[in-house]
Amino acid sequence: MPDNLHIVPCPLCDGYAVIPRAVWVYERGCAFGHYDTEEDACPECEGAGRVLVEGEPITIDDLDEMSGTQ
């Protein structure tokens, strides 16, 4: 794996690997419908919860330079 690829939580599903969606359901024997949720696999990470991104690692020294303290 190249050095500039990193595994991070999926930004679309926040690492949960699924996207919930509201559905209207009727249960057998119940006179009234209600909202419920179904979960679909996240299309961004394909249900893995993680994605590969390109980027350079940041060191402690880099963070100190960005904040202006040393």
Q: Residue 68: is it exposed, middle or buried by C-beta count within 10 angstroms (0-12/13-18/19+)?
A: exposed
Per-residue pLDDT tens digits for 6-60: 899 999 999 999 999 999 998 888 888 889 999 999 999 999 999 999 988 788 8
Q: Which residue has the higher pLDDT, 69 or 63?
A: 63
- Residue 69's pLDDT band (boundaries 50, 70, 90)? low
Q: Whole-angstrom Cα distance, residue 12 to residue 50? A: 10
Q: What is the pLDDT of residue 70?
A: 57
Q: What is the pLDDT of residue 2?
A: 66
The pTM (predicted TM-score) of the whole model is: 0.60
* Domain chopping of the chain, boundaries: 5-67
Cα–Cα distance list, 56 to 5, 18, 27 (Å)? 8, 28, 52
